[in-house]
DNA sequence: ATTTGAATTTGCGCTTTAACAAACATGGTA
DNA sequence: TACCATGTTTGTTAAAGCGCAAATTCAAAT
């Protein structure tokens, strides 16, 4: 494998404050690998042997219940760390990670975690802030799930996806990876049927357009109104 | 105020691995205060000026939505840190903290966070594992809320409260602080009416007894079966 | 002792949304 | 090209659980 260029990770929040020479060493110690769309990166319950940095693509992180229900915890965007069980004091991965599109992923062995956090306190601080942000986000979703109706939650989910991963096209904001009705239902705690009905209804009202696994938001403002709880369709 | 004894904090997970002399210094730098039942310790959106350690009692942590709905994020038990916005990279508290019973609380100024984490790496590690555990717990609840019916969720909530805060009596396991139907509904994303009905039903079946703001679990096993999703009442 | 407010119980109607079912569309692959 | 797996739409039905209302119990305050 050819050497990785420092510019790849220079702009990434977790590595802010680390000098170029050290970054280079970090990259030398990393393993780089391509995952095809649909390929598993790690599995819930599996030994947490590595932690990961997504260089390019999107990764879907999900949990499976004892009953076989799946819920999507979050999507990882490029530049984000994931699978950092070490930071949380876990020795098994608490979730599944699957490439949502073709991905480029860096990984380091789990024992490298201590090396890097010891050598680069800023990395530790940055990373724990990431964990903190995810805790906030998770609690935010708890509140949503507890207090909002399905329609609002789905509107919110679509809105967030558009904001986080959206790519501007001449029509509107396109969600940048294939996402099915089922995926959205697993993000919002409902059924794909209900999601389908909602999307159809919104499409009729010109709020968005959708094809199979593709959604383009046209009227983000309208969606935001629905997400906020306005009941006039 | 009289000096605090090191034995107060010696057994607390966050402080494991810190020598007695240093602990003493920590205690000297801490502020100790008693909060009466119902008193606010900090408020959502308020400046995160301090972080806290609960020495005795129980603290209810809740979030308020824009619509005025409240949900209970978690109960803090004695020995736990809370209000650690600093660790999460926040400068405002993301939730409310209220004394659920009379409480004894230690607190340190926010800028002391850097002092202590720098001087005691084990403290940092321990604490971040706490944050990690809370993230796990939060995601666990997301899964519950997404996939389980109300009955299961309420059973789970009661079961967890009994396990975490339960006190054995000759009848069964008593939840150690006053908790209303409303509280439980705010933990499980339902209404106090539904909770009331469920508790009444369970009381009739001898699974638990409840008075106003008091719940004693008699048949934890039965409750666990309901929590797991068995539908025979 | 009385009052007042909070917590709880219970009934009933109704909305939301899940469950089931079946047809249909689409894109990849043999 | 035809087929097949996967994803989507849509209709119908039924149940879960919420909203509303009213009665009741209890505890604390005056």
Out of B128, B136, B186, closest to residue A94 by CB: B136
pLDDT at position A3 is 63
Does A146 sit within 8 Å of B189, measured CB to CB?
yes
Is residue A138 located within the same domain as residue A214? no
Is residue A130 located within the same domain as residue A46? yes
**Domain limit, last residue, from A121, A143, A165:** A143
Contacts of residue A175, Cβ cutoff 8 Å, sequence gap at least 6: A158, A161, A162, A165, A166, A214, A215, A216, A217
What's the number of domains chain A is made of?
A: 2
Is residue A45 located within the same domain as residue A26? yes
Sign of the alpha-carbon torsion through A8, A14, A20, A22 = negative
**Domain limit, last residue, from B143, B161, B193:** B143
Q: Does residue A129 lie within any of the structural domains?
A: yes
Question: Taking every pair of C-alpha atoms in chain A, what is the biggest distance, in angstroms?
Answer: 58
Q: Does residue B1 lie within any of the structural domains?
A: no
pLDDT at position A220 is 94
Nucleotide whose C1' lies closest to the alpha carbon of residue A194: C17
Contact yes or no for B143/B24 (Cβ under 8 A):
no
Is residue A48 located within the same domain as residue A130? yes
Q: Does residue B44 lie within any of the structural domains?
A: yes
Q: Does residue A1 lie within any of the structural domains?
A: no
Nucleotide whose C1' lies closest to the alpha carbon of residue B204: C9
**Domain limit, last residue, from B124, B143, B162:** B143
Is residue B122 located within the same domain as residue B183? no
Whether any strand D atom is under 7 angstroms from the Cβ of A114: the reply reads no
- The β-bridge relationship of strands A81-82 and A70-77 is unpaired
Q: H helices within B70-170, ranges in order?
A: 112-119, 121-147, 150-165
Is residue A152 located within the same domain as residue A139? no
Residue numbers 12-51 of A with CB closer than 7 A to any atom of strand D = none
Nucleotide whose C1' lies closest to the alpha carbon of residue B231: D16
Residues of A in contact with B141 (CB under 8 A): 142
Contact yes or no for B92/B62 (Cβ under 8 A):
no
Residue that has been written with the tokens 């605090």 in this structure: B4
Q: Does residue B2 lie within any of the structural domains?
A: no
Determine the distance between A60 (CA) and D5 (C1') in angstroms. 22
Q: Does residue A187 lie within any of the structural domains?
A: yes
Is residue A138 located within the same domain as residue A58? yes
Question: What are the pLDDT digits (tens) for B140-199?
Answer: 999 999 999 999 999 999 999 999 999 999 989 999 999 999 999 999 999 999 999 999
- What residue numbers bound the domain in which A206 lies? 148-232
Q: Does residue B95 lie within any of the structural domains?
A: yes
Determine the distance between B69 (CA) and D23 (C1') in angstroms. 26
Q: Quote the CA–CA distance of B152 and B158 in Å, as a whole number.
A: 10
Is residue B134 located within the same domain as residue B157? no
Determine the distance between A38 (CA) and D8 (C1') in angstroms. 20
Q: Give Cα A50 distance to the centre of its chain.
A: 18
pLDDT at position A7 is 83
Is residue B24 located within the same domain as residue B104? yes
CA angle A176, A179, A184 (to 5 degrees): 125
Out of B125, B133, B139, closest to residue A138 by CB: B139
Whether any strand D atom is under 7 angstroms from the Cβ of A210: the reply reads yes
Determine the distance between A71 (CA) and C18 (C1') in angstroms. 17
Does A69 sit within 8 Å of B189, measured CB to CB?
no
Q: Does residue A222 lie within any of the structural domains?
A: yes
Q: Quote the CA–CA distance of B28 and A95 in Å, as a whole number.
A: 42
Nucleotide whose C1' lies closest to the alpha carbon of residue B194: D17
pLDDT at position A11 is 85
Is residue B134 located within the same domain as residue B25? yes
Burial B173-198 (b: 16+ CB within 10 A, else e): bbbbbebebebbbbbbbbeeebbbeb
pLDDT tens for the 233 residues of chain B, in order: 556 788 888 889 889 889 899 999 999 999 999 999 999 999 999 999 999 999 999 999 999 998 889 999 999 999 999 999 998 889 999 999 999 999 999 999 999 999 999 899 889 888 988 999 999 999 999 999 999 999 999 999 999 999 999 999 998 999 999 999 999 999 999 999 999 999 999 999 999 999 999 999 999 999 999 999 876 64
pLDDT at position B233 is 44
Q: Give Cα B110 distance to the centre of its chain.
A: 21
Is residue B135 located within the same domain as residue B153? no
Residue ranges in chain A whose pLDDT is less than 70: 1-3, 232-233
Contact yes or no for B112/B102 (Cβ under 8 A):
no
Binding residues for strand C (Cβ < 7 Å): A 149-151, 189-191, 193-194, 211-212, 231; B 180-182, 192-193, 196-197, 199-200, 210, 212-213
Does A138 sit within 8 Å of B138, measured CB to CB?
yes
CATH of the domain at A38: 2.60.120.10
**pTM, two decimal places:** 0.93
Is residue A96 located within the same domain as residue A42? yes
Residue numbers 165-204 of B with CB closer than 7 A to any atom of strand D = 189-191, 193-194
Interface residues from chain B to A (CB-CB < 8 Å):
63, 65, 67, 69, 71, 73, 87-90, 94-95, 124-125, 128-129, 131-136, 138-139, 141-143, 145-147, 186, 188-189, 229
Name the closest residue on chain B to residue A122, using Cα atoms: B118
Chain D footprint bases within 7 A of protein beta carbons: 7-11, 16-21, 26-27
């Amino acid at each position: 494998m050819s050497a990785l260029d420092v510019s790849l990770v220079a702009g990434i929040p977790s590595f802010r404050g680390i000098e170029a020479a050290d970054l280079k060493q970090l990259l030398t110690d990393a393993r780089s690998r391509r995952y095809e769309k649909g390929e598993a990166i790690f599995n819930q319950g599996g030994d947490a042997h590595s932690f990961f940095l997504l260089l390019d693509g999107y990764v879907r992180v999900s949990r499976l219940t004892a009953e076989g229900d799946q819920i999507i915890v979050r999507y990882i965007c490029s530049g984000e760390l994931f699978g950092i069980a070490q930071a949380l004091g876990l020795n098994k991965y608490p979730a599944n990670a699957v490439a949502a599109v073709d991905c480029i992923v860096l990984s380091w062995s789990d024992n490298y975690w201590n090396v890097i956090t010891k050598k680069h306190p800023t990395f530790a601080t940055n990373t724990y802030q990431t964990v903190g942000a995810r805790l906030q986000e998770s609690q935010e979703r708890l509140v949503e799930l507890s207090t909002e109706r399905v329609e609002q939650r789905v509107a919110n989910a679509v809105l967030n996806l558009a904001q986080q991963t959206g790519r501007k096209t001449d029509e509107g904001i396109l969600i940048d990876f294939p996402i099915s009705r089922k995926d959205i239902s697993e993000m919002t705690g409902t059924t794909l049927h209900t999601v389908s009905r909602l999307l159809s209804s919104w499409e009729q009202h010109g709020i968005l357009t959708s094809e199979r696994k593709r959604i383009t938001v046209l009227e983000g403002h309208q969606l935001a109104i629905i997400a906020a709880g306005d009941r006039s369709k």
